Structure 1
Amino acid sequence: MELDWQLLERLCEAPGVPGHEERVAAIVHSALQPLVDELRSDAMGNLIGIRRGRADRRIMLAAHMDEIGFLVRYIDDQGFLRLQPVGGFDPRVLVAQRVSVWPRQGEPLLGALQLATKPIHLLTSEERKAPALEDLYVDLGLPPDDVRARIELGDMVTLARDFVRLGPTVLSKALDDRVGVFVMLEALRHLEQHEVEILAVATVQEEVGLRGAQTAAFGLEPDVGIALDVTIAGDVPGIDADDRVTRLGEGVAIKVFDTSHLPSRPLVEHLREIAERHGIRYQLELLPRGGTDAGAVQRTRAGVPAVTLSIPTRYVHTVNEMAHVADIAGAVELLVRYLAEAHERSYQPYSW
């Protein structure tokens, strides 16, 4: 199965923090349009592609377009920017990174994300402490008047980091969750036969509370929901074996627990059967903290059987997220094969 890795690169390198997903949405719109019978956006900014089928069942796929980042909160007298986080960055990974600041008009400005502290040469041992997000600022290297003329409160700030291939892996900012969007698009591109109606939703504002998925699911009323997202691959130094969640390169993850939803057990079993039948490597995922769009879809209206297919990813919520191309390809194949036979099963929790 040939995948369009250049599409994943374009998705990852596009900026789009919660509420500012329009540049990502433009790429998704172009890729999704030839794959569906109807394409529209809603009041929240979700992109909704509908691919019609013959069976009376609606499967909602949800992958979020937004990435964690910042908004400009304050511009001081020297032209330094203070930031409002949108999504959960670990401040330990941010010091001395480069960022892009996206004004309402014009080209982005490159800046240095620095810690408001004395240089390490001047710090006493008592003064050294773990960084906090409120201690960070952006230096654009411009006179204060130039900064104020070009930047205003609420402008988007993203990490400036390219997408690269490292052997059998990809390394980039925003794999969470552009790789999920990519899996959804590539599955639709490779899907030939299906009976169900497919609702392919590129959602917004997942990183600030699953907001786009909640409103989209309420309006679409799906029969089944599948979120496509990343999960922790903790197979690295510093993480004990019982905290690893998944391992890189050992297959797509089928979620069985996170703190946003308990996946439908019949749906989990169906996915496992398909994977075993077709020789698709998979892992079972229990994520002790965190959630996905499936948590919002599951609780819409009277309830929806839901599950998450996850791509194991090292260094989640940092500037260097890493995923294995075989795990990504496995997620695409499992989703394609599921959609081809999704009309055959009922996911009622009880058989009596």
Structure 2
Amino acid sequence: MKDIIDLELLTDIVKTPGAPGYESRIRNRVIEEIKDLVDEWYIDHIGNLICVKKGSKNPDGKKLMYAAHLDEISFMVTHIDDAGFLKFHTLGGFDPKTLTSMRVIVHGKEDLPGVMGCKPIHIMSPEERTKAPKISDFYIDLGLSKEEVEKYVSVGDTITRKQEIIQMGNLINGKSFDNRLSVYILIETLKQLKTIPYDLYAVFTVQEEVGLRGASVASHGINPDFGIAIDVTIANDTPGVPGHEKVTELGKGTAVKIFDASTICDYRMVDFLKRTATNSEITWQSEILTAGGTDTAGIQRMGKNGAIAGALSIPLRYVHQVIETAHPEDIKSTIDLLVKASESIDTYNWEHR
């Protein structure tokens, strides 16, 4: 597995916190990796990290934008009760049934470990036992009194999940693969790029999980001609799921997005990515996701002229749950295709047809 991906770097990226709107720690970690790989980098007002690599033959000033969002689904403290337990609000979409007994880190004046709790099944009524839990049923236990908690924690502090990456057979398993896998992929792509025809804007975006906000701002400022978002997608290749609901499968390569609930990808970008992958012998699969969306929508719509936009997605089991699972080969194929696409984007006929 060490020959496929840099697991040490990926682990460091995954464990560095970054709730929506509070991405500074993970952004600073990314800056350490990319500052010597690009011609310039800057941070815009909303917090996007924008990295520019100049093209070698670009008389028309063409711009290519890549987007990988920094933020992870998280929580925010809304209340501290008299016994020191925390109530919270979600930042991004969670499946409540996956939260029971999950370890978390509360990012106050110091990082404090905690655990999510709810009423034990032993004292639930028969009606309660048959109902799915709600976010409001949960609290966070820090093991401290209210007085001790208030020394470190305030309403508005953010909370992230605490999980380690493990190797599990041929796969890797950990938290916040959405979208730290893509952050890792974009860093590795910048490391491998040499000569590219068009100016590349590699953007590590903010606040994707709460409405594609960073990508929309970045695209409006950059006004790219072309754009590719890098994100994860659902791999329902598990027992009990019929073939037509699988979306993607682990180990079948990077997924070329065709459609999701926020974007109909430009047919030219879809064709370009498929052709590039096939001609370069890079393993790929198609993705049609009938719910959910990615930064592709912000890239496509928010530039002043619109953009020819698409996306590459990493298949993921257990998306938006306590842990997520990916195949290293799918990560590698995404990097490989981004590199090839960056180097050959000027060879494709982009005229409408």
Q: What TM-score bracket applies, with the shorter chain setting the length?
A: over 0.9
Q: Give the CA deviation at 1:10.
A: 0.8
Gaps in structure 1 of 5+ consecutive residues: none
CA distance in 2, matches of 1:62, 1:126: 46
Contact kept in structure 1, 2:55 and 2:195, CA below 8 Å: no
Give the structure-1-normalised TM-score: 0.96
Q: Which residue in 1 is equivalent to 2:208?
A: 206
Corresponding pairs, count:
346
Q: Does 1:102 align with 2:100?
A: no
CA distance in 2, matches of 1:167, 1:38: 40
The counterpart of 1:282, out of the listed 281, 284, 304, is 284
Q: Give the CA deviation at 1:235.
A: 0.3
AA of the residue aligned to 1:79: G
Q: Which residue in 1 is equivalent to 2:31?
A: 29
Q: Which residue in 2 is equivalent to 1:183?
A: 185
Contact kept in structure 2, 1:3 and 1:186, CA below 8 Å: no
The counterpart of 1:93, out of the listed 95, 98, 103, is 98
Q: Give the CA deviation at 1:240.
A: 2.2
Q: Give the CA deviation at 1:167.
A: 2.9
AA of the residue aligned to 1:263: C
Q: Per-residue CA shift, 1:29-69, capped at 9, x if unaligned?
A: 11111110001101001000000113131100000000001
Contact kept in structure 1, 2:4 and 2:328, CA below 8 Å: no
Determine helix, strand or coil for the equivalent of 1:347. Answer: coil
The counterpart of 1:267, out of the listed 266, 269, 275, is 269
Q: Per-residue CA shift, 1:76-118, capped at 9, x if unaligned?
A: 1111100010000100100111111010x23x11111011x2x
Structure 1 residues 93, 238: CA separation in 2 closer, same or farther (over 3 Å shift)? farther
Contact kept in structure 2, 1:264 and 1:347, CA below 8 Å: no
Q: Give the CA deviation at 1:266.
A: 1.0
CA distance in 1, matches of 2:76, 2:198: 40
CA distance in 1, matches of 2:332, 2:112: 35
Sequence identity percentage: 41
Q: Which residue in 2 is equivalent to 1:69?
A: 74
AA of the residue aligned to 1:331: T
The counterpart of 1:306, out of the listed 304, 309, 318, is 309
Determine helix, strand or coil for the equivalent of 1:17. Answer: coil
Q: Give the CA deviation at 1:123.
A: 2.6
Q: Does 1:323 align with 2:326?
A: yes
CA distance in 1, matches of 2:294, 2:275: 23
Q: Give the CA deviation at 1:8.
A: 1.1
AA of the residue aligned to 1:92: K
After TM superposition, the structure 1 = structure 2 runs for residues 106-117 of structure 1, keeping only pairs within 5 Å, are 106=110, 108-115=111-118, 117=119
Q: Give the CA deviation at 1:124.
A: 3.3
Structure 1 residues 2, 248: CA separation in 2 closer, same or farther (over 3 Å shift)? closer
Give the structure-2-normalised TM-score: 0.95
CA distance in 2, matches of 1:14, 1:127: 37
Q: Which residue in 2 is equivalent to 1:339?
A: 342
Q: Per-residue CA shift, 1:214-263, capped at 9, x if unaligned?
A: 00110011110100000000001242221110000011000000011111
CA distance in 1, matches of 2:328, 2:226: 27
Determine helix, strand or coil for the equivalent of 1:71. Answer: strand
Q: Per-residue CA shift, 1:147-192, capped at 9, x if unaligned?
A: 1121001111111111222232111111100111111111111112
Q: Which residue in 2 is equivalent to 1:120?
A: 121
Structure 1 residues 346, 222: CA separation in 2 closer, same or farther (over 3 Å shift)? farther
CA distance in 1, matches of 2:157, 2:72: 15
C-alpha RMSD of matched pairs (Å): 1.2
Contact kept in structure 1, 2:223 and 2:306, CA below 8 Å: no
Contact kept in structure 2, 1:233 and 1:248, CA below 8 Å: yes
AA of the residue aligned to 2:283: R
AA of the residue aligned to 1:184: L
Q: Give the CA deviation at 1:131.
A: 0.7
Determine helix, strand or coil for the equivalent of 2:179. Answer: helix
Gaps in structure 2 of 5+ consecutive residues: none
Q: Give the CA deviation at 1:2.
A: 5.5
Q: Does 1:12 align with 2:14?
A: yes
